[in-house]
Amino acid sequence: MDHTLLKADATQSDIKLLCDEARKYRFAAVCVHPYWVAFCAEQLSDTNINVATVIGFPLGATTMEVKAFETKQAIERGAAEIDMVINLGALKSGDYDQVKKDIQAVVEAAEQKAIVKVILETGLLSETELKQACQLAARAGADLVKTSTGFGTGGATLSAVRLMKETVGAKIGVKASGGIRDYETAAAMIAAGATRIGTSAGVTIVTGGQGNQSDY
């Protein structure tokens, strides 16, 4: 589970709490904006919890050169996981070569020092586009495909997760993210093929309590 806090107004105290919760409940990673990567890496230096960050977020419309620079800088600051947003405009324009190059630029910038997850924003894609996006991410060398930013239209759905898993098979992982706020939903996503869950409601999910959660 990626314990996530991507609110624009999150404070250092909020981020520290995120790290403390990740430590307490042994989450796989914390997912934060690039600004907070170094702070989280310091907070979690004595654990095996990864720091994940977002690249080209949330729209995916920055150039591949900018995404590559963001990736290199994030890794230098302590990120071990990179969640990049696909170039949706290029995908919907049918420029599949550009979409693949965009993902490859991030994969190459990561230099196998961090895993790369590709955010597809499934709520904006047709089934055909979703399949194409998954195939391009796999061919470009990504480690996981991910449903949503949490800032777009809709979050993770069981149908999208199933289709993503059917498309990529055992080649790469599937991360379900966006709107997952309880144990039952998380379990259903895993049953549908998700290998990683991204949520701000991680504490609620693992304890059944009322955690500090949002859409992001």
Active site residues: 83, 146, 175
d(CA 198, CA 200): 7
Query: Cα separation of 6 and 43, whole Å?
Result: 17
Strands annotated E in the chain:
2-4, 29-32, 50-55, 81-85, 115-119, 144-146, 173-177, 196-199
What is the rounded distance in angstroms from the CA atom of residue 161 to the CA atom of residue 156? 7
Asked if 147 and 164 count as a contact pair (C-beta separation under 8 A), the reply is yes
Using CB atoms within 10 Å of the CB of residue 101, give its burial: 0 to 12 exposed, 13 to 18 middle, 19+ buried: middle
Name the amino acid, one letter, at 83. Answer: D
